[in-house]
Amino acid sequence: MTLLVAKAITHAYRRGFSRRHPSLVDVDLTVRPGECWGLLGANGSGKSTLLRILAGVSLPLAGEVSLLDHPAGSRAARSALGWVPEAVGWPRALTVRDVLMELASLSSSREIMARVLRVAQLLELEPLLGRRLGSLSYGQSRRVVLGQALLDDPPLLLLDEAFSGLDSLVLHRLRDDLALRLAGGAGVLLATHRVEDLHGLATHVAVLRDGRLCQSGPADELLAQAATPAGLEQLLGIRA
Amino acid sequence: MILPTLLCAGASFRRVIAPRNLALALVAGAITGLALLGLPAPGLVSSAYQVLVSTLGGLLVLPIVAALPAGDRALGYEQLVGLRPVPSVSLALGRVLGSVVGAALLVLLLGFSARMVAAGRELPREVVGRLASEPEQPPMFRFGIPADLAGPFQLSLAVHVPLRQAGELIIDARRGEGTQRSSHRVRPTRRVVLPVSDMAPQRGDLYLTLRAGDGLVLAAEAPRLEVGRELLGDASLRLPREAALRIALAVLAAVCAACAFHFETALLAGLLALLVPSQQNPSGVLLTSGLLLLFAVMGTALVRRQALP
């Protein structure tokens, strides 16, 4: 059984009338239950674009994506997915409680408040539930973005720079929660440009370089290679 | 499909009646009420109340309801909403239902807060004179005075008096068996207010015959008799039920347009619907509403398809 299968994903951004700038070229990826894939890459390597395509929010030029054997973007695929985008423009007048309840109710009518409170407890959002989204700091806002993805306990989580802006306590709790979810058969794809985020969590690592998947495999091997600055530069393809 | 629709409606409703919007409705109502305090006659206050509540109500709620779907889309929040496994039909109908109910609540709040401010105001209680004489005779007006009201009363009369002259006005009053004549000197003015006895213990209608002397011309406007004072009260400030349908259609047009277009376009659609005279034909209203709802569902589905290809 696979949670996510991406085959030969190719994507390009339009530049001018006819020119296209390739952002992803023939990317293959498979996530199985219990696997946490760390998606490493320098800024601009195509991590966020890949996650948007996997979530079904952007269309690839070529290739296929399926989540639990359903095409990306379909209703069944959306039900199985929790997506943390890199940035969200919240409606500023709404409170944290409003937005979490709205998103929770749009997924399922069962235990709406209980689900919201569970996520709020996990991410230390309880004191912020009555606060307007426009008044939140960056880190607090990121916690709300994470919260909305965890509301429905989806079997697959696509996390784009999910750990950025989080304080140590929340980060620790979140990592524990993700580990529990992985043990329960969920799958996680965590895009980051910081190798430290993957230690102790990722079971596999894929490295994107200029839109191409240049390396992928068990996390231990690749993270060991990235243990030194020189090794990391070599892994990410950054020239000092 | 009903439950997701109701859930979407609840979410939209909560956003329409956000504390800021409720405060705006209260303030707009208070301003309307204060404006009504400056008007002199009950009839004018009543009609101004209806016009102000329907106009300000429309102008208040249209940007609020148009901003919901359009703003979400502009911010990217739409994608998080769109990723939820809720059908587009439920999303669109829920948005429309929640917005319309929320907008109705805001307009009602505006109307009631205006009423709270203005209803305590005391205004003159006037009786309009009805012409009760033949054309070739001096004008005689009949005033139906409630039996419980005692005088003296104030007669308000529109007249024409040339500058630097004065005219004479003779009033013959008759009530029941009693008669009374009084003469008044009128200076150049457009309106004259004269005391009229209630001729106690006589009761019933009061008849006043007005005879204009040299230099005085009576205006065509019917004279009014101020028979006392009364509180404006809730009964004088009736909510504009005739405008309710027009506002509801305008809100519907704004929300439905916002499901597919930008905020400005949606607001324009709502304003146009507000300005167009309301259709009294029920089948026409139903057809318009149905088409707008269909447009909202299609717009939501297409926009969602764009956000979630």
Cα–Cα distances in angstroms (integers) from residue B48 to residues A24, A179, B120, B127, in the given order: 64, 66, 16, 20
Q: Do A89 and B76 touch (CB under 8 A)?
A: yes
Choosing among B14, B83, B90, which should be mutated to test the A contact, i.e. which has the most A CBs within 10 A? B83
CA distances from B162 to B98, B157, B167, B188 (A): 63, 16, 9, 6
Written as six digits, the tokens of B3 are 């439950």
Q: Do B72 and A56 touch (CB under 8 A)?
A: no
User: Is the bond leading into B201 cis (omega within 30 degrees of zero)?
Assistant: yes
Most confident of A78-82, A155-159, B209-213: A155-159
Q: What is the pLDDT of residues B152-182, one digit of tens each?
A: 888 888 877 776 677 788 888 888 888 888 8
Distance from CA of A182 to the nearest CA of B (A): 22
Q: What backbone torsions phi and psi does residue B124 show, to the nearest 5 degrees?
A: -65, 140
Which residues of chain B make contact with A109, given a CB cutoff of 8 A? Answer: 3-4, 7
Of B3, B80, B91, the CB nearest to A103: B80
Rounded to the nearest angstrom, the minimum Cα separation between B95 and chain A is: 12
Nearest CA in chain A to B307: A57
Q: Which CATH architecture has domain B125-229?
A: Sandwich (2.60)
For A80, which residue in chain B has the nearest alpha carbon?
B85
How close does chain B come to A230, measured CA to CA in Å? 38
Assess whether pLDDT exceeds 90 at residue A50: yes
**Tokens standing for residue A198:** 């993957």
Disruptive mutation site among B14, B15, B20, B308 for chain A (greatest number of A CBs within 10 Å): B308
CA distance B66 to chain A (A): 14
Phi, psi of B241 (to 5 degrees): -65, -30
Q: Do B309 and A78 touch (CB under 8 A)?
A: no
Query: Which of B10, B83, B87 lies closest to A81 in CB terms?
Result: B83
* A83 → chain B, closest CA residue: B80
Residues of chain B with C-beta less than 8 angstroms from the C-beta of A76: 85
Q: How far, in Å, are A34, A49, A179, A214, B214 from residue A207 at the CA level? A: 20, 14, 22, 6, 107
- Confidence check on the interface: ipTM exceeds 0.90, yes or no: no
pLDDT tens readout for residues B243-275: 788 888 899 999 898 888 888 888 898 888 888
Q: Which of B4, B221, B251, B303 is nearest to B105 (CA)?
A: B251
Chain B residue set in contact with A, beta carbons under 8 Å:
3-4, 7-8, 10-11, 14-15, 18, 20, 71-72, 74-77, 79-81, 83-87, 91, 307-309
Chain A residues touching B309 at Cβ < 8 A: 56-59, 73
pTM above 0.80, yes or no: no
Instruction: Give backbone dihedrals phi and psi of A227, rounded to 5 degrees, phi first.
Output: -70, -25
Q: What percent of chain A has pLDDT over 70?
A: 97
| Contact indicator for B41, B129 with CB cutoff of 8 Å | no
Q: With an 8 Å Cβ cutoff, is A86 touching chain B?
A: no
Domain parsing of chain B, residue ranges: 2-119+237-307, 125-229
H helices of chain B, in order, are: 2-16, 19-37, 42-75, 77-83, 88-118, 233-236, 241-258, 263-275, 282-307
The mean pLDDT value for A127-145 works out to 91
Out of A214-223, B163-172, B279-288, give the one with best mean pLDDT: A214-223
Query: How far A176 CA sits from the closest chain B CA (Å)?
Result: 25
Name which of A92-96, B131-135, B215-219 the model is least confident about: B215-219
Average pLDDT, chain B: 82
Q: Tell if the CB–CB gap between B309 and A91 is shorter than 8 Å.
A: no
**What pLDDT, on a 0 to 100 scale, did the predictor assign at position A172?**
92
| Contact criterion met (CB < 8 Å) for A57 and B20 | no
